[in-house]
Amino acid sequence: MPENNGISREEALRKMFIRRVIVVALIIAAVIIAITIVFRQFKLYSDARIALREAKNIKISLEVADMELYGAGLSIYDETAEGNLRKGAVAYVNKMQGELQGTFKLTGYDSGRHKITGFEYELEKFIVRYKYNEDGDTWQVFQIKELLTY
């Protein structure tokens, strides 16, 4: 039985059903995209916190190595060595921390107080920087992201 506009009831119901399916599909797609974005952000910040924890553990190991070397009249700082670290200090950290995923170097050292004032730990995705000043410790975590390759 045709209606006023010439469309049968079955055809109108079919069109309404298709519209509802499209709306539900769009809602499901939007929810999946939102969940994916939230998960990726959570994973990124989780990985950054793991990198920060590793860097803090390395700094503690370097401080312990510095105390041990101080007993022998030395320090971990060696401006002529790679990463400004004496080989014994690097070996000590590797022994304490196991196989590290990244590389680390001293960027500042107070020889008078035997205190690390700058430190950098670089991983595949992150760089963790430590700085000490009179106000206290500052830790920064940066994401390494390649945007273009030529």
Contacts 24+ apart (CB under 8 A), 40-44: 44/143
- pLDDT tens, position by position, 3-13: 556 678 889 89
Confidence category of residue 19, pLDDT binned at 50, 70, 90 = very high
Q: Name the strands in the sheet holding 136-143, side by side, starting at the edge strand that comes first in the sequence.
A: 103-110, 115-122, 126-133, 136-143
- Does residue 64 sit within a domain? yes
Whole-Å CA distances, 70 to 67, 73, 74 = 5, 5, 5
State yes or no: pLDDT of 129 exceeds 50: yes
**pLDDT number for residue 6:** 67
Domain-located, residue 149: no
**Structurally, how many domains does the chain consist of?**
1
In a domain, 92, yes or no: yes
Alpha-carbon span 99 to 97, nearest angstrom: 7
Structural domain includes residue 148: no
Q: Is 128 left (phi over 0), alpha (psi -120 to 50) or beta?
A: beta
- pTM across the whole model: 0.79
Residue 84 structural domain: 9-143
Residues 6+ positions from 46 with CB-CB distance below 8 Å:
none
Flag whether 2 is in a domain. no
C-alpha 102: how far from chain center: 12
Residue 120 lies in a domain: yes
79 part of a folded domain: yes
CA–CA gap between residue 26 and residue 23 (Å, rounded): 5
pLDDT digits (tens, 9 = 90+) for 94-111: 888 888 889 999 999 998
pLDDT at site 94: 87
23-69 pLDDT tens trace: 999 999 999 999 999 999 999 999 999 999 999 999 999 999 999 99
Q: Could you tell me if residue 4 is inside a domain?
A: no
Q: What is the pLDDT of residue 1?
A: 47
